[in-house]
Structure 1
Amino acid sequence: MKISHHELPLVTEAPIQILDVTDAVRDLHATSGIRNGIVTLISRHTTAYVNLNEQEPMLQQDMLTHLKRLVPRDGDYRHNENPVDGRDNAHSHLMGLFMNASETIPIVDGELRLGSWQSIFFIELDGPRPERRLSVHFMGTE
């Protein structure tokens, strides 16, 4: 059994942003030596998440619109009365209730076993942020 750990540094530029990290994860996989196993991705943040979905620009706009409607930024949130880091970001935490902090993807015969339309996204809910990190853990056999 081989285990390989990586940190993928990310920069976000918008309050809510969907970053496609599929190619970056594939590049890390290429260096891992894992042919059969799993890769687990975990966001190290409470206002940024990991998601598998379709890479299509209009759908991504729909996703952003849906999130903003679901949890408006200007809601009356208690967390914003005394924010820990000075950011009024209760809406970001509340949006995160509908997302996953991690995803696990099988690796079979040297390939990430993603569906035809699936891409791996890092979803920023409290940007912009100059430094975010996605932990990427490979485990399996060579």
Structure 2
Amino acid sequence: MSSKNSEFFVETRKRIEIVDITDEIAKRIDEGNACLVFVAHATAAIIINEYEPNIKADYEKFFSNLARGEWMHNSIDNNAEAHLLSALISPSVVVPIKDKFAKIWPVRKLSNFRYKDKKLDLGTWQRIMLVELDGPRKRKITVKMI
């Protein structure tokens, strides 16, 4: 089975920030049954959940408070909390892909037919988000069709 990789970059602006990347991922899906979304950084993560301004602010507040403490790694980079949270949350998610059918109307007396297109199989309110934990930074996101 072959697989295809696609990459894009997100530039964050805050120390802890939630960025909706669903639409960017949706542009990159093609043949496959699922896609792996991966952020190749030790101080960022990927989540799937609802995205709206109030819950976005709640995520940022929650992640800011979750790992506070006196950590040994802070003597080196002052970002131990970001590493701990990234390990806890996960740098990747797998999202199922489903067929989206569209009807093509007859042209020049051709019969109707349907073609398959692909779309992310997310719940009604679900979005895919980058969780920046040590920003601002430029983050690379990889989308791999599987």
TM class, shorter-length: 0.7 to 0.9
Structure 1 runs (4+) deviating above 4 angstroms are none
Alpha-carbon shift at residue 97 of structure 1 (Å): 3.3
Residue ranges of structure 1 left out of the alignment (5+ in a row): none
Residue 16 of structure 2: aligned partner: 16
Give the letter aligned to residue 60 of structure 1: K
Alpha-carbon shift at residue 40 of structure 1 (Å): 0.3
Residue 27 of structure 1: aligned partner: 27
Query: 1:51-105 deviations in whole A, cap 9, x for unaligned?
Result: 0010111011111111122123xx3211011x2xxx3101111222330111001
Give the letter aligned to residue 90 of structure 2: N
Residue 39 of structure 1: aligned partner: 35
Decide which structure has the larger Cα Rg and report it. 2
Distance 1:69 1:80 in 2: 16
Aligned length: 128
Distance 2:139 2:81 in 1: 19
Query: 1:16-74 deviations in whole A, cap 9, x for unaligned?
Result: 01110000001112xx3x1x5110011101100110010111011111111122123xx
Q: 1:138 aligns with which of 122, 142, 145?
A: 145
Give the letter aligned to residue 140 of structure 2: R
Residue ranges of structure 2 left out of the alignment (5+ in a row): 100-117
Residue 63 of structure 1: aligned partner: 59
Alpha-carbon shift at residue 2 of structure 1 (Å): 4.2
In the alignment, structure 1 residue 96 sits paired with structure 2 residue 77: no
User: Under a length normalisation based on structure 1, what TM-score does the superposition of the two structures give?
Assistant: 0.84
Distance 1:3 1:58 in 2: 37
User: What RMSD over aligned residues (CA atoms) do the two structures have, in Å?
Assistant: 1.3
Distance 2:34 2:59 in 1: 27
Contact 2:18–2:59, Cα closer than 8 Å, also in 1? no
Give percent identity, aligned residues only.
Answer: 33
In the alignment, structure 1 residue 52 sits paired with structure 2 residue 60: no
Describe the SS at the equivalent of 1:64: helix
